[in-house]
Amino acid sequence: MTRRRLDVLVVDDSAVVRQALTAILNARGCAVTTAPDPVFALEKIQRARPDVIVLDLEMPRMDGLTFLRKLMSQDPIPVVICSGLAGPGSEAALRALDEGAVEVVAKPSLAVREFLEESATLISDAVHAAARARLRGPRMAPMPVEPRHGADAVVRGATPHAIRTTTDKVIAIGASTGGTEALREILEALPPDAPGMVIVQHMPEVFTRAFADRLDGLCKVRVKEAADGDRVIPGRALIAPGNRHTLLVRSGALYAVQVKDGPLVSRHRPSVDVLFRSAAAAAGHNAVGAILTGMGDDGAEGLLEMKRAGAATVAQDEASCVVFGMPREAIERGAVDHVVPLPLVAPTLLRLAHGRAALAPARH
């Protein structure tokens, strides 16, 4: 049986960007139509409803946020925001996530071939994740998998008998599609003395700083975009900067983060696998790992490494995920000790970090 192509509507006032996105998505199994602004887009939606909309925010006649609000109130369709990296653009993109957009990706860099290829991978993955966030009818077959790097490309595996010279706990969290809201709920529920945290949320550069700043204004814990050498201390959550891998490292009894370049790992930079592998090596049984909503398998292998190193591990349950891909992969690999709904993730992390009574085992 022939797989139905994914119908995508690209809404952007730049003809060059429309052409680039059309080429990227056509090559990855999508049927693409375009519109230069939201007014034309509404007319096209009336004639043929797309599976996913890729939306710019700064356009003539009607801005992207107004269009998004109108769409979500009348006929919700999964929307991926494709935005530039300017400061005001990052704030608008975060507001778009609040208004119901599924993902945010950076506009493709058209000048350098390597950047264009990476952009193509990230944009394609975001569009297909958005489509699966509202599955209707038969599940689509997976798209062809492009060459990918493992965590070995960025960080070495844990030494089997690494010496542990601290009992301080650290929490490592990974998330993708739907993760911005999940992380907000989790971090808002934590007390100001919660264990130090390092978080990877798949999101482009610049957006991660705005995301961290927004969370810092909402939460009792301090939240900041991670910088190389930042200490991981109680009451602080560090968000991996977009387009940079972030690793947990330890010197004696002190934890810190290392922020570095490298290839896409598990199709992402930052990669959850890279963070989790580094947590296994640096913290071992003193770590707690959590994998949240998202498409794909980034983090599944790294969480298994954490579990093998003695860490407690948690996955968000299917019912509360926007996309159950990443938690499902981790569960199927035997990497998860506890599967809990989103409202219970924060108390579960605290209980495990503080060594309290064991919770119910993972459901397979």
Question: Which residues are identified as catalytic?
Answer: 176, 202, 298
Token pair, residue 197, equals 């945290």
Using CA atoms, how far apart are residues 154 and 310, in angstroms rounded to an integer? 22
CA 41 to CA 132: how far, in whole Å? Answer: 22
Asked if 6 and 31 count as a contact pair (C-beta separation under 8 A), the reply is yes
DSSP string, 80-136: EEEE--SHHHHHHHHHHHHTT--EEEEPPP-S-HHHHHHHHHHHHHHHHHHHHTT--
Do residues 52 and 11 lie in contact, with contact meaning Cβ atoms separated by under 8 Å? no
In our burial notation (b when 16+ CB lie closer than 10 A, e otherwise), range 191-213 reads: eeebbbbbbbbbbbbbbbbbbbb
Inter-CA distances, 341 with 37, 178, 319, Å:
39, 14, 7
CB 194 within 8 Å of CB 222:
no
Burial of 263 (0-12, 13-18, 19+ CB in 10 A): middle
